[in-house]
A and B are shown apart, each in its own frame.
Chain A
Amino acid sequence: MEAGTQAAPGGGRSLDRSPLARLPDRVVRIGLTAISAAILLLLAYFFVKLALEARPVFEKFGVLNFVFENNWDVSKGIYGALPLLVGTLITSALALTIGVPVAVAVALFLTELCPRRARGSLTVLVDMLAAVPSVVYGLWAFYFLIPKLKPVEQWFADTFHFVPFVATENVAGPNYFIAGLILAIMILPIVSAISREVLSTVPADQKEASLALGATRWEMIRTSMLPYARRGIVGGSMLGLGRAIGETIAVTIVIGDNPILGHSIFDQGYTLAAVIANEFSEAASDPLHKAALIGAGLVLFVLTLLVNSIARLLVIRSERQGSKPIAVGH
């Protein structure tokens, strides 16, 4: 197919491409635009569909009651999702508290301290944490971690009983803490990878400025790297948060699946994602129960959308910061 010339009726030459020649371009353009617009429509459809299917339970209890009432009792047909919501938030908070500092420390290690020869292999190893499927994490935690950590948790609960949310008579095997811990391990690779990227974009002249002033390595990191990378690291942590909020199978195995709001992080609990996975088969015949689970799914969806939108904004803003020009003048 030539992008060729055509003989116009008057005998002169026209350089217009024939409409036929332009067709593939148009098809491609329209096709790609359509696919992309379809994605947006699909997301909107998600939301609508979930909301519609959850309507029965919202009609019975009201949206606010459903979300904030502390009573999830399947046998009585009462569905207040607060223990689930709180469970989600507690486990995610634990995951962040444990996971983010370690992830950032690992990122700092790999960018600044690691001997160059080992850097590649250690990076691959850390990233490999992401290769373990969630079901394996959950089961390993259930069979290995829980029995091993129980005495430690009991000791901790007894020693630090004055700290709020710690004291408990009997440390449950599966509990919020173990769920939070395993989530921390699961989000570590992604938070660390993003932190690594952000830290490696710190301009060399910033680091040199600190070092030339007589800073120790840590002082240089503290002055030149962390403030610069802060926004990106927070963004990465929020992405990790999003992952923690939505993780289902590992959590349902290790949290105890008990829809009671526990008083201690060492009590059993439940999360939005876990309840859906766990109760779905039994809800097949109970329309209200099913609607309640879908409602939980809707709450989960909205929560992750929120968290991830904020995360994206932060990461974008920190990327832009890197290319900000310096004022020129005299």
Chain B
Amino acid sequence: MESAPLAPRSALPPVSPRRRRTDRAVRALLWLATGLALVPLVLIIFYILKKGIGALSVEFFTTDPTGNFLGAKGGVKSAILGTIEIVGFATLVAVPLGVGVALYLTEYGAGRLAQAVRFFVDVMTGVPSIVFGLFVYLTLVLAGTGGSSFAGWKGSAALALLMLPVVTRSAEVVLKLVPDSLREAALALGAPRWKVIVRVVLPSAASGIVTGALLAVARAAGETAPLLFTATIVKATTLDLNQPMNSLPAQIFQDLKQPDDELVQRAWGAAITLVAMILIVTLIAKSIQRRSRAMGVR
């Protein structure tokens, strides 16, 4: 073989400018898309603040809508309280049931029934809220269950149906993450299964379950349609869940249809309130999630 001095290279093979251009173009598109996605959020927040901030006052939060055509229009106290009551009651029902189903699926469910339950719970997450509202209307409102036609608790029932699959799904994910070794250790110590669940599994998964529940609450609080058929809309504050009850989404929806500037502004003020409430719940949920992740528990 001939020997010859090794000629050093002075540059690497060039990269086609087309490739670099495409790469840059795609990067720009991705940046653009993200900006685009955030534009509506910013616009909406600005808009509701602009339109509704004037309505926020002490009266706004402490008086009920009067329904007067002339004179004082009142605030949205009954709507705020109504939302809290209806969603609160729905949570009280949906979370234990949802966690119960999730526990069944993780701790006891290996057979056909469990597979069917899991699949249908998943599918249930997609059922529109209005269908649930319709269903509750047909079964509870028309039948006059509980001695009332429209009632706050029936609105809660519709919302609970909406929340249940969400709670179940997120609880199941978190429960599955509790390591089996933990369960086995407790069982090996002679603890009965239910105690293992209550003392070991649930505490481990607690923060994840709370996060899932809070996100379900945030979702339910924003729903309008099911409430229109079940809790309907009233003016007065009531603490009786067996009566028709006001709620923020319903109030907003009704007020904005009125040709009255004050009512319109009040509606936007109510929108600010509702968005703020949902945001707070969402942010709490996310911070719990982040903190538990940082501690090494998922």
* Closest-CB distance, A62 to chain B (whole angstroms): 22
Chain B residue, CB-CB nearest to A47 = B135
Q: How far is the CA of A286 from the CA of B272 in the complex (A)?
A: 38
Whether the pair B278, A131 counts as a contact (CB closer than 8 A) is: yes
Nearest A residue to B131, CB-CB? A301
Q: Please choose the segment from B63-71, B72-80, B176-184, B191-199 that sits at the chain A interface, where 4 or more of its residues have CB less than 8 A away.
A: B191-199
User: Does B260 belong to the interface (CB within 8 Å)?
Assistant: no
A247 to chain B: which residues have CB within 8 Å? 128
CB proximity of B99 to chain A, nearest CB, Å:
10
Nearest CB to that of A186 among chain B residues? B40
Residue A206 is within 8 A (CB to CB) of chain B in the complex:
no
Can you name the residue of chain A whose Cβ is closest to the Cβ of B281? Answer: A131
Contact A219 B19 (CB under 8 A): yes
Residues 106-138 of B contacting A (Cβ, < 8 Å): 107-109, 113-114, 116-117, 119-131, 134-135, 138
In A198-249, the 8 Å CB interface with B consists of 216-219, 221, 239, 242-243, 245-249
Residues 278-296 of A contacting B (Cβ, < 8 Å) = 280, 294
Set B31, B101, B116: member contacting A113, Cβ < 8 A: B31
Report A-chain residues with C-beta under 8 Å of the C-beta of B193. Answer: 25, 28-29
A43 CA to B127 CA, complexed, in Å: 10
Known: A31-B100, A105-B30. A304 touches B44 (CB 8 A): no
B286 near A124: Cβ-Cβ < 8 Å = yes
Given contact pairs A3-B192, A49-B139, A131-B218, A294 touches B113 in the complex (Cβ within 8 A): no
Main secondary structure on B side of the interface with A: helix
State how many angstroms separate the Cβ of A196 from the closest Cβ of chain B: 12
B residues less than 8 Å from A143 (CB atoms): 47, 51
Chain A, 246-268, CB within 8 A of any chain B CB: 246-249
Number of A-B contacts (CB under 8 A): 235
| Stretch in A71-79, A133-141, A169-177 with 4+ CB within 8 Å of B | A133-141
A144 at the B interface (CB under 8 A): yes
C-alpha spacing A163/B97, complex, angstroms: 51
Instruction: Report the separation of the CA atoms of residues A178 and B37 in the bound assembly, to the nearest whole angstrom.
Output: 16
Are A216 and B19 in contact (CB-based, < 8 A)?
A: yes
Check: B282 CB closer than 8 A to any chain A CB. yes
Q: Which residue of A lies closest to B161 (CB)?
A: A42
A307-B121 Cα distance, complex, nearest whole Å: 14
B3 at the interface (CB under 8 A from A): no
A57 at the interface (CB under 8 A from B): no
Query: Would you call B22 and A24 a contact (CB within 8 A)?
Result: no
Stretch of B203-211, B223-231, B234-242 lying at the A interface: B223-231
Query: Which B132-151 residues sit within 8 Å CB-CB of chain A?
Result: 134-135, 138-139
State A27–B191 Cα separation when bound (angstroms).
16
Chain B residues within 8 Å of A246, by CB: 126-131
Q: How far is the CA of A40 from the CA of B225 in the complex (A)?
A: 24
Whether B109 lies near A36 (C-beta < 8 A) is yes
Residues in A with CB closer than 8 Å to B191 are 3
Choose among A126, A139, A144 the residue that contacts B271 (Cβ–Cβ < 8 A).
Answer: A139
Tell me if A273 and B138 are in contact (CB < 8 A).
Answer: no
Docked-complex contact A36 and B104, CB < 8 angstroms: yes
In chain A between 117 and 134, which residues have their CB closer than 8 angstroms to a CB of chain B? 120, 122, 124-134
Residue of B41, B131, B223 near A297 (CB, 8 A) is B131
- Residues in chain B near residue A219, CB distance under 8 A: 19, 23
Q: Are B37 and A188 within 8 A (Cβ)? A: yes
User: Counting CB contacts under 8 A, is A311 at the interface?
Assistant: yes
List residues of chain A with CB within 8 A of the CB of B43. 140, 144
The answer to whether B29 touches A105, judged by C-beta atoms less than 8 angstroms apart, is: yes
Whether the pair B271, A136 counts as a contact (CB closer than 8 A) is yes
**Inter-subunit contact B101/A277 (CB<8 Å):** no
Within 8 A of A (CB), among B21-54: 22-23, 26-27, 29-31, 33-34, 36-38, 40-41, 43-44, 47-48, 51
Q: Which residues of A contact B296 (CB under 8 A)?
A: none
B249 contacts partner chain A, Cβ-Cβ < 8 Å: yes
Closest to B37 in A: A106
Q: Flag if B113 contacts A33 (CB, 8 Å).
A: yes
Q: Tell me if B174 counts as interface (CB < 8 A to partner A).
A: no
- A140 and B44 contact, Cβ closer than 8 Å, known pairs A24-B194, A131-B275, A217-B23: yes
22 contacts between A and B (CB under 8 A): A31-B100, A35-B97, A36-B117, A39-B121, A105-B30, A120-B290, A130-B282, A131-B218, A133-B275, A134-B223, A140-B47, A216-B22, A216-B23, A219-B23, A221-B26, A242-B126, A246-B127, A249-B249, A273-B225, A277-B228, A305-B126, A309-B119
Interfacial residues, chain A to chain B (CB-CB below 8 A): 3, 17, 21-22, 24-25, 27-29, 31-33, 35-37, 39-40, 43, 46, 49-50, 53, 101-103, 105-106, 108-110, 112-114, 120, 122, 124-137, 139-140, 143-144, 185, 188, 192, 216-219, 221, 239, 242-243, 245-249, 273, 276-277, 280, 294, 297, 300-301, 304-305, 307-309, 311-312
